[in-house]
Chains A and B, each alone.
Chain A
Amino acid sequence: MSFNLKKRRLKMKWKTNDGGWSPYLAGALLGLLAIASVLATTQFLGKTSYLGASTTFVRAAGILEQTIATDHVISNEYFTKTKVRVDWQFMLVVGIVLGSLISSTMDKSFRIESVPPTWKKRFGPSIGKRAFGAFVGGIIAMIGARLASGCPSGHGLSGMMQLSVSSFVALGMFFSVGVLVAHMVYKRRAS
């Protein structure tokens, strides 16, 4: 009896109920990837680059704006500073889509989802409402990420690994305000 219990507990350690890997295992492997990536960028590109995502959104905005207002982008101080081009991090972000597609196809966890369950429970099945929330939330979050100069990848992963003061403060703010707003947004009319 006790042996069986132990065995089951060991099994649950590496695989989750939904067929994924234990977050501890997947996370530890990501830690190894972060180290390998820092070494590889230093070795091959001559500059140490860290995993991050939010700067790419600025470059994407610049690339899109360039097609209709080239001069405006060239004269914009922030676009000039960020350098609008498809660089290492831009392709890293593109790679995330591919990696997730490969993984979810392999273990059959790929799902077409229009409205996530937690959202549906609070705001109903309307795609329009969800689209509006995601859009407005996206604008606010990105302005915040650029002010703080990082997101949960740049600050949360890369910055905390380096023991940066700003990253510990930023993550504390991300999460504490996130908890506050999430409770205001999703907790009312709880089922």
Chain B
Amino acid sequence: MNSSQWLGLVTGVLFGFLLQKGRVLRFDKQVGAMLLKDMTIFKFMLSAIMVGMVGILLLANFEVITLSHKPMNVGAVLIGGALFGAGWAIMGFCPGTSLGALGEGRWHAVFAIIGMVVGAALYAELYPFFKATILAWKDFGKIGIPETLGISQWIIIPVFWVGTITLFFLFEKKKL
């Protein structure tokens, strides 16, 4: 293995470790969130985002790293996002957590993983069609919220923190 693969592996082991410790890999946790009964995965994700965004935007601010937005291609994000949501609800895993679930013994995740590999192969075959239709509609490109709204990220971050902490209090109060 080369150094890039080793770095990926080490990072992945830590990622998988934290996902498992946070108890977010399970089918019942993921479907529980979608049934609005158990908000564990949102507590975990939003905490990660709150911490991560400060460091990443600071590093990008000083040009130590570069940001990499995904394109805001309207049809693709809306239709793709809806398809993902539907599939996620039925499968009860997302791509990353399906592998973590396998690691903690929930072996039925294998069927989800096989389904996703088949889905990826199908997408590769359908790509010319998507490129001519959905992907060709309206693409705003790789844009971030601060420049789109014309508001500094150092105002958006505190607003995000306050909003998220409020949500956390609500989750705890309702025992979700």
- Name, among B93, B114, B123, the residue most crowded by chain A CB atoms within 10 Å (CB to CB): B123
Within 47-69 of B, Cβ neighbours of A (below 8 Å) are at 47-53, 55-57, 59-60, 64-69
Whether B69 contacts A164 by the Cβ 8 Å rule is yes
Q: Is A103 an interface residue (CB 8 A)?
A: yes
Smallest CB separation, A184 vs chain B (Å): 8
Main secondary structure of the interface of A (DSSP, over half): helix
Q: A138-B87, A142-B123 in contact; A114/B107 too (CB < 8 A)?
A: yes
Whether B79 contacts A168 by the Cβ 8 Å rule is no
Contact-residue bracket for chain B:
35 or more
Within 121-141 of A, Cβ neighbours of B (below 8 Å) are at 127, 130-141
Q: Is A74 an interface residue (CB 8 A)?
A: no
Choose one: A118, A148, A165, A170; the contact of B32 (CB below 8 Å).
A118
Q: Is B162 an interface residue (CB 8 A)?
A: no
Whether A23 contacts B156 by the Cβ 8 Å rule is no
Q: Which residue of B lies closest to A17 (CB)?
A: B23
Q: Is A71 an interface residue (CB 8 A)?
A: no
Q: A100-B103, A138-B91 in contact; A174/B85 too (CB < 8 A)?
A: yes
0/1 string, B80-120, CB within 8 A of A gives 1? 11111111111111111111111111111101111111111
Within 39-90 of A, Cβ neighbours of B (below 8 Å) are at 39-42, 44-45, 48, 50-51, 53-54, 56-58, 60-62, 64-65, 76-79, 82, 86-90
Q: Is A24 an interface residue (CB 8 A)?
A: yes
Whether A138 contacts B26 by the Cβ 8 Å rule is no
0/1 string, B6-36, CB within 8 A of A gives 1? 1111111111111111111111100111111
Within 144-191 of A, Cβ neighbours of B (below 8 Å) are at 144-157, 159-183, 185-187
Measured between beta carbons, the chain B residues less than 8 angstroms from A169 are 72, 77-78, 81
With A138-B113, A152-B88 already in contact, 17 other A-B pairs whose C-beta atoms are closer than 8 Å: A26-B24, A32-B52, A37-B11, A38-B56, A57-B120, A93-B12, A93-B95, A95-B14, A97-B16, A98-B13, A100-B16, A135-B115, A140-B83, A141-B94, A144-B85, A166-B73, A181-B85
